[in-house]
Structure 1
Amino acid sequence: MNKNSILFINYYFPPVKAVGSIGNYKIAKGFLENNWNVYIISTAGCGLNKDYSCYSEIRADKKCYNIDGKYILKIFNVLKSKLFKASNIYSKKEKNDIKHKESILNSHLSILYEGNLFYIIQAIYYSIFYIKKYNIEYIFTSYSPLADHILGLILKEIFPNLKWIAHFRDLRITNDNKSKVDLKIERTILKKANVVTGVSKGILDELNNIFPTNKYFILRNCIDKIYIDTQEKTKNDKFKIIYTGKLYAGKRNFNVLLKAINKLPSDIKKNIQLIYAGGDSELFKNLLIRNKIDMPSINIVTYNNLTWKSSIELQSNADLLLLLTWSYKGNKGILTGKLFEYLMHEKPILGIVNGEKDKELEEIWNKGNLGLLVYNKNEYVDLIVDFIIKLYLLKNRESWKYKTNYINNFYCSNMVGKFIKNALF
């Protein structure tokens, strides 16, 4: 078999509009830049939003038609609401039990609408065809959805000598949705895969708690250098603080920044422009109201449903990029792919972690000179105030520099090349 051939089986891959699509795309490109033959099987994306703005160099060799999951999801949500209708007659303990059972049901039945059986059957057929035709020795699957790892398990049974890389962009099992069935599925995946990768040490630590082994390797989201220095930059009259991404029902929270903005000197505050681009504009505005932000005194701009390219262009005009994430016991290592988009621009980044200390993020910020990393707590308000004032008073706002030797490790070709050397050979 040809050791330089790899088959990516990814439900999420461009042009499907999702953060996971971009992450899978960049890893595939990293293999291509390390002189591997790369083949890709993905979904036709029926019912899914599409974004063709980053869909240029690599295309799926075969697209499997999937059933439009939104109809299945609607039926599922109606049934779920009838099963778990939490009224006031329930005690707090009973409501928590209902929430736990609902979370488990979500994890079990998501395969019906995200990477459903129709997709799985076709992907098995095309995978067998490609593995035999091109003598492929490696396959790469990525969670989410679970369907892709299920395909890895099936193909490993059909081709025992196949080397399977099981990648985790996110944790499937958290403290909210542990069950015996979940744990059994997860342990089987971790046991059968030849190599298990995660985007952060935090994710791999959580997986190691489920199934201890020495075959874990970090494979982060990465920087795609083709997009660097290609965006037109406009001169900023305002000091632009920009966040592009979701808020995940408040899991990503920036109250501490809003409190800091309220404490800024009035001459600086009036020149602040706070820009949000994502699908949670209403929640964003509610956070502003809750923190008593005087919206007439600062400029607020919101965008919905930008393409990936438009999002990158918006980021390139920031004076300060805002990154939001969370960190809780049993749910650590949420190293969002958004960080690696931001790193393309060499702009200062204000990172706000909602929850517990995250040493991995602290290390990345410090070693890369990314800017300021804080936690969503009042004790960090003054630090943010001082940081914004410092940046605002800079004569040249383009003068911020990352530590190049450290950041170079995050380019796709370098990161994947290191992974190939350490994990595959």
Structure 2
Amino acid sequence: MKRSKKVLIVTYYWPPAGGPGVQRWLKFAKYLPEFDWKPIIYTPENPSYPLVDETLTKEVPENLKIIKTNIWEPYQLAEKFSKSNKKFKGGQFDVGKNQSFMSKLSIFIRGNFFIPDARKFWVRPSIQFLKQYLKENNIDVLVTTGPPHSLHLIGLGLKKELPNLKWIADFRDPWTEISYYKHLKLTSGSDRKHRQLEKSVFENADLTLATSYKDAENFKKNGANAFCITNGFDESENSRVGELESERIRKLEGNETMKPSNSKFTLSYVGVLEQLRNPENLWKALENLCKTNSDFANDLELKFVGRVDDKILNEIESSVLKNNIKNLGYLSHNDSVNEMQNSDLLLITNFPNESSKGIIPGKLFEYLATGKQIISFGPKDADVETILNKTKAGKHFDYQSNLGIREFISSLYEDWKSGKSIQNEANINEFSRKELTKKLVELLDEI
């Protein structure tokens, strides 16, 4: 009998970690056995997660083998001295005038003393542990997934110890090209070290995975054998995908009108909203609509699910939108998906700079699976814009846009008010987790 091949996945984020970082390999681990690949997870025993979602532990496959070893991290100590470290651990930054002295100091220390990141202390013990494990358990392929990018140094170290090891470096976000890199207050020596380590990973990994088309192109320019496998949605969690498709066809054929699905015209943001991705022109457009259209002001609900930066929330609460806000805070993944489905328009934001064109937030695909309209903010010609145009699921604006935002929202609102369907017409099958796993397996078999 032919044995299933084994892939060892080194990941920091694993249930009960919350947030989008855990989803990618949790879903790959779910579907890999259907393609004769046996996943094995290697993850910390005592991690310091910025978000926890206990409900995700129910999604871990029952027979999945999980190996854990202890990790030492400086975050718990740092949080005693500065509240900003909690935000920093979750990838959030105070910027400009909002930075306190302690925030500036902690960012400088993080960028220059913990290279590539504060999980670096897990690298050496993991190499020692896994070197023996790989030999004894006939592992066919090693996968490291980051951020944290220190995990790629585990792969790099093992590759040097075991030259015949097949190694895939999976970049859920870029390393030196990520938007907040320039905010790390790096010395020239630290910047050089980051870039040298990144280059070593690109040149030594047998395969580098990117989650966006542009990231894959950039990685190739820097010496990587790079391919793109985007994130996606799990159709088994979104039973409404098929229902929505049937509903859209029925409405198109019958030209039906319906009562609005919600009592309020609901614009929702799900996830972490930080200062670097604040769509200020959207808030201005909503304020303007509320001031000029009393019906819109009465009907609008601005719903936040997740963590919204205090500075952003305070600004909105100080405007005419204060009575339209519904701030639910962090919810479990399943509850978050329900809140997406109970919305009319879904907001997604990206970093405004050119280097962020290749960032495709994982929740975009869960947004697509709801069938709801999407409004996006980010740099021009971004991969998110490409996907929205391809699927006809919404509209993308850059952060300098003033024209068009109000008109887009107003048009959807008028359709909602009159009972017309405002579902999108997205064709999204290629982004299902099972189809993406099939694409991953093709690469695993060829490596």
TM-score (norm 2): 0.78
Give the whole-Å Cα distance in 2 for the aligned partners of 1:111 and 1:76.
21
Displacement after TM superposition at 1:421 (Å): 2.2
Alignment of 1:146-295 (within 5 A): 146-174=149-177, 176=182, 179-209=191-221, 211-213=222-224, 215-229=225-239, 236-248=262-274, 250-264=275-289, 265-280=293-308, 282-289=310-317, 292-295=319-322
Give the whole-Å Cα distance in 2 for the aligned partners of 1:100 and 1:77.
10
Work out whether residues 42 and 60 of structure 1, in 8 Å CA contact, stay in contact via their aligned partners in 2: no
Give the whole-Å Cα distance in 2 for the aligned partners of 1:308 and 1:390.
31
Work out whether residues 8 and 141 of structure 1, in 8 Å CA contact, stay in contact via their aligned partners in 2: yes
Displacement after TM superposition at 1:236 (Å): 1.8
Give the whole-Å Cα distance in 2 for the aligned partners of 1:345 and 1:40.
30
Q: Deviations over 1:242-290 (max 9, x none)?
A: 1011122x21122222222233322122111110122225233233156
Work out whether residues 227 and 344 of structure 1, in 8 Å CA contact, stay in contact via their aligned partners in 2: no
- Give the gaps of 5 or more residues in structure 1: 81-91
**3-state secondary structure, aligned to 1:148:** helix
Name the aligned partner's letter for residue 174 of structure 2. Answer: L
1:303 aligns with 2:328: yes
**3-state secondary structure, aligned to 1:336:** coil
Give the whole-Å Cα distance in 2 for the aligned partners of 1:423 and 1:36.
9
Over 4 Å off, 4+ runs = 74-78, 99-105
| Aligned residue in 2 for 1:380 | 404
| Aligned residue in 2 for 1:52 | 54
Distance change in 2, residues 1:197/1:112 (3 Å) = closer
| Aligned residue in 2 for 1:39 | 40
| Aligned residue in 1 for 2:360 | 335
**3-state secondary structure, aligned to 2:78:** helix
- Give the gaps of 5 or more residues in structure 2: 86-95, 245-259
1:65 aligns with 2:70: yes
Distance change in 2, residues 1:351/1:190 (3 Å) = same
- State the identity as a percent: 24
Give the whole-Å Cα distance in 2 for the aligned partners of 1:388 and 1:14.
37
Q: Deviations over 1:332-387 (max 9, x none)?
A: 3121112122223121111122xx31342222001111112222321233333334
**3-state secondary structure, aligned to 2:370:** coil
Work out whether residues 352 and 398 of structure 2, in 8 Å CA contact, stay in contact via their aligned partners in 1: no
Distance change in 2, residues 1:327/1:294 (3 Å) = closer
1:109 aligns with 2:135: no
Name the aligned partner's letter for residue 366 of structure 2. Answer: E
Work out whether residues 256 and 378 of structure 1, in 8 Å CA contact, stay in contact via their aligned partners in 2: yes
| Aligned residue in 1 for 2:385 | 362
Work out whether residues 142 and 149 of structure 1, in 8 Å CA contact, stay in contact via their aligned partners in 2: yes
Q: Deviations over 1:51-81 (max 9, x none)?
A: 2212223356112222253234348979x9x
1:416 aligns with 2:437: yes
Name the aligned partner's letter for residue 29 of structure 1. Answer: K
**3-state secondary structure, aligned to 1:12:** coil
Give the whole-Å Cα distance in 2 for the aligned partners of 1:237 and 1:267.
13
Give the whole-Å Cα distance in 1 for the aligned partners of 2:415 and 2:349.
19
**3-state secondary structure, aligned to 1:344:** helix
| Aligned residue in 1 for 2:89 | none
Displacement after TM superposition at 1:101 (Å): 11
Work out whether residues 273 and 309 of structure 2, in 8 Å CA contact, stay in contact via their aligned partners in 1: no
**3-state secondary structure, aligned to 1:246:** strand
1:389 is matched with which residue: 394, 413, 416?
413
Work out whether residues 281 and 303 of structure 1, in 8 Å CA contact, stay in contact via their aligned partners in 2: no
Name the aligned partner's letter for residue 335 of structure 2. Answer: S
TM-score (norm 1): 0.82
Distance change in 2, residues 1:272/1:205 (3 Å) = same
Work out whether residues 43 and 68 of structure 2, in 8 Å CA contact, stay in contact via their aligned partners in 1: yes
Alignment of 1:312-351 (within 5 A): 312-351=337-376
